[in-house]
Structure 1
């Protein structure tokens, strides 16, 4: 059994990666919906729901109509050989285990349904450029979802706007404020400003203007 303490959260650019999913049940459908937003996805199954055909129509996934249990090792190898991640999500544990073993022969990462594989897929919260992942490493997916719901109450859409403000202010401050510590303090003042947060609740433009005023005031104080 894998040591859960060895799992490390990473953000990986999946744009040029291939993900192969075996199975088109609820798990396979959920994984296809998720990964098709980030990478090339191939799904292998005997049949497909309308959801899969809709994803295929939008050129988000490739469908291979085949019974995974009847595929030879060579057949499976041809499908997975250039994959970055393989997800065995059939309703047959034996088939899933076989796919895992074949994937390991190519040193391909696996996200397993019946066990803890090389990869676990966390619950994710996205607010603009902010990404928060929550995982119990397979111990309780329900608790991951519950935690995500609690965090979503705190991490409001204004967080994305604040990140945008920070991203726009940093280049300006690098030109206007030579001292790195001073730049850090100014950015932190913006983060802690209730006026900026209140402004963002009305509009990005209002929050940004208040942040600009803080920056101008701080720079003028440094110049004196």
Structure 2
């Protein structure tokens, strides 16, 4: 079946929904949202439909279907559970040249209701001509991930200035170039930042400028999450697919990097413990240089850019040099690794607070303060602490932590090679050596760490006696 795609303006037009159940309720709601004059007919109605009728939101026809209900209607949706009745409604609608849709019956329908991605006033509709609606819904899910939620505001802004845009760019090719700038330049970025006034001002200035607008460079500080591509945020994915240049850290997994735009220039600026080092100042200069060349730059950082990621330094540097910059948060390692190890970071019986620490520095003990170390009902999540386990454990015990306090080390968290080792403060160092645990790894200290013994569900788990106690087969699923 081949359908002619059509978007219908039903505002103020009478339309009929036959049926009073949950399906009819959904169809009536969609028509109300489109501004239609909705009539609903059935022997019985859902309570919400009754409330709509009593409030005057819809017109009700109570009883068995009658052909006269179709008089004057522009559309009808048959949403009863009686296929013969639905077929009769569709046939009588066709005699009146009224478009009919029969729910879940493509053969009887003159129009189909598609799966919709709503970025009003931008609407994307997906139809399989009734052949496989479930596949249409899956495609809708994919489009929801990649279509920026600010696109609706961008389309509305373009609509407001449409006459001026046409007047300023009478040549079709030049006008197309302006709309490309509108999408790729600062206007959409400002709308993402909830600055509609500034976005409108940028558009007006571009229209008043005698020179055609060019795409101004920008930088997005993007959190890549802990490594599993399924944990990448939708906004991070959009940024990767629009980037001209990507400056990425060591902890960004190949699976996440593979989701970037295929022709993007990818530059490794990662720092490796005891190995290759890229000075932060060099990364600053790279961001600035590419942005000044008019490129869209993504500074891609493992976890979250503002959690032990120097994102604050980079944001301040870019702002000082007048570069447009926004921030896309990522799922930080403490949250993700704990979840993949079955460890609740807070628990009303065991931990009422959480402290994130880094052991990266000249003296690991410097990261521990009296206010965090002696609290038995507090979870400590320590980044980059594997190489300083002995100093950390000794310091915590000296500050009042029980030597029997549960600990967990999560190596390669959220990746297929993840390992979780559960120990205590007293056995932490020896067991980590025994299993040759290496970075990247996250250390969790507190009563909640013991949950991993029963609830770790991903990757490999070993107990503090050194025995493997479970391996979960895992598959990496991309967004």
TM-score bracket for the superposition, by shorter chain length: 0.7 to 0.9
Greater fraction of residues in strand: 2
8 Å Cα contact 1:90/1:96 also seen in 2:
yes
1:34 and 2:39 are equivalent in the alignment? no
Cα 1:210–1:24 change in 2 (3 A) is same
Q: CA shift at 1:81, angstroms?
A: 1.8
Residue of structure 2 aligned with 1:12, choices 8, 32, 41? 8
Partner of 1:49: 46
8 Å Cα contact 1:190/1:214 also seen in 2:
no
What are the Cα deviations for residues 161-210 of structure 1, in whole angstroms up to 9, with x where unaligned?
221332344333445556554344333322221x3332222122233333
Partner of 1:73: none
Q: Distance in 2 between matches of 1:21 and 1:100?
A: 12
Partner of 2:76: 86
Partner of 2:55: 58
Partner of 2:124: 132
Cα 1:183–1:94 change in 2 (3 A) is closer
Q: Distance in 2 between matches of 1:39 and 1:221?
A: 42
8 Å Cα contact 1:24/1:45 also seen in 2:
yes
Give 1:1-224 correspondences, 5 Å limit. 4-5=1-2, 7-37=3-33, 38-68=35-65, 76-116=66-106, 117-176=109-168, 179=171, 181-193=173-185, 195-202=186-193, 203-217=195-209, 219-220=210-211
SS of 2:27's equivalent? Answer: helix
Q: Distance in 2 between matches of 1:110 and 1:221?
A: 49
Partner of 2:411: none
SS of 1:82's equivalent? Answer: coil
Partner of 2:228: none
8 Å Cα contact 1:47/1:65 also seen in 2:
yes
Cα 1:101–1:206 change in 2 (3 A) is same
Aligned residues: 209
Alignment TM-score, normalising by the size of structure 2: 0.40
8 Å Cα contact 2:206/2:212 also seen in 1:
no
Q: Distance in 1 between matches of 2:104 and 2:142?
A: 27
Cα 1:114–1:181 change in 2 (3 A) is closer
Q: Distance in 1 between matches of 2:169 and 2:204?
A: 14
- Name the larger-Rg structure: 2
**RCO higher in structure (CA 8 A, sep ≥6):** 1
Partner of 2:271: none
SS of 1:35's equivalent? Answer: helix
Q: CA shift at 1:56, angstroms?
A: 1.6
Alignment TM-score, normalising by the size of structure 1: 0.81
Q: Distance in 1 between matches of 2:143 and 2:176?
A: 26
Q: Distance in 1 between matches of 2:92 and 2:163?
A: 49
Question: Which one is further off, 38-47 or 183-192?
Answer: 183-192
8 Å Cα contact 1:186/1:215 also seen in 2:
no
Q: Distance in 1 between matches of 2:118 and 2:26?
A: 17
Q: CA shift at 1:57, angstroms?
A: 3.1
8 Å Cα contact 1:199/1:210 also seen in 2:
no
Q: Distance in 1 between matches of 2:163 and 2:52?
A: 40
